[in-house]
Amino acid sequence: MEILAKSDSIILPMLAHPDAKQRRALAQIYGLMRNAFRHAGANLLRQHLGCRFVMWRMKTAARHGQSLKQIEAMLRPRFRRVVNEAEYYTAQRKRAANAYERIKDHLVGENLLDLGSGPGLIAQTIHERTGMKVTLADVIDYSMTNLPTIVISEGECIPLDDQSVDMTLIYVVLHHADDPLRLLDEAVRVTRRRIVIMEGYVDDENTYLLNCFFDWFLNRIVQGRDINMPLNFHTTADWNRIFDERGLHVTRQELVGIDEPMAPESHVLFVLDKVTQA
């Protein structure tokens, strides 16, 4: 599986030989990256020098024909020198708390599956504040919690019975799947009442470029994980059609935009109820 093939085709030309639209996107990327450094605990000097260094190294490497994987290998060990580890973790906990505030009014039932849970901090926050029983599921056990975790390979069925959880949370995950619709189908199968999805908003070209870049940069360089990068984004119109085909009622759709300073991607929130409920 070529986990960076599409990322290479979109991001490398923007870094190496940008056209007018890509140059505007790069200017926005610099500002958003500097703000992310600030929220991660970097002081003003490190914000400025760190961002300039990172952008310069990426552009230079791209112009010399290096791949994104080579750029990652160069920047991963350097990035942690810019950001304080303890403050970065604190910021991640704050991010999870903010995510909870965003979805708390849409939580239903007694048990929840966090599908594509990553470090599991959002699910842990839900558990701590509501008492809901939560289960994590991801292709690799990235959990920083003691919550029960299911590890499933890409394309495998979730090892849960039909309608066995009251709700499923899919938080900025679907575009990482090689087949996001199959993953959604599995969520529909195991969920009894509600699915809450936060996903990348890509309804215009500029936002698409920003989301593609930060999805790669934050996951592959900042977090240093070999996360799949097929960039399988869909427009809101496409998602609504997909949901309708699966008998999911869109109870709420909210364009939240760039809502997380440390992860400056534009998002859209969908709250989906199953049309037929037990």
In this structure, the answer to whether residues 78 and 210 fall within a common structural domain is no
In this structure, the answer to whether residues 192 and 117 fall within a common structural domain is yes
Q: Which of 76-90, 92-106, 118-132, 195-209 has the lowest mean pLDDT?
A: 76-90
Choosing from 24, 52, 85, the residue where a domain stops is: 85
Whether the CB-CB separation of 103 and 132 falls below 8 Å is answered with: no
In this structure, the answer to whether residues 81 and 100 fall within a common structural domain is no
In this structure, the answer to whether residues 199 and 223 fall within a common structural domain is yes
- First-to-last C-alpha distance (Å) of the chain: 40
- Give the span between the Cα atoms of 14 and 28, in whole angstroms: 13
Number of domains in the chain: 2
- Give the span between the Cα atoms of 10 and 251, in whole angstroms: 34
pLDDT at residue 39 is higher than 90: no
* Chain centre to alpha carbon of residue 227: 10
Backbone φ and ψ for 132, nearest 5 degrees, come out as -65, 145
In this structure, the answer to whether residues 119 and 51 fall within a common structural domain is no
3-state secondary structure of 61: helix
- Give the span between the Cα atoms of 118 and 102, in whole angstroms: 18
Choosing from 23, 51, 85, the residue where a domain stops is: 85
CA atoms within 13 A on the CB side of 181: 10
In this structure, the answer to whether residues 15 and 45 fall within a common structural domain is yes
Choosing from 85, 120, 147, the residue where a domain stops is: 85
Mean pLDDT across 123-143: 96
| Domain housing 209 | 96-274
Q: Is residue 91 part of a domain?
A: no
What pTM value is reported for the model?
0.92
* pLDDT at residue 137 in the model: 98
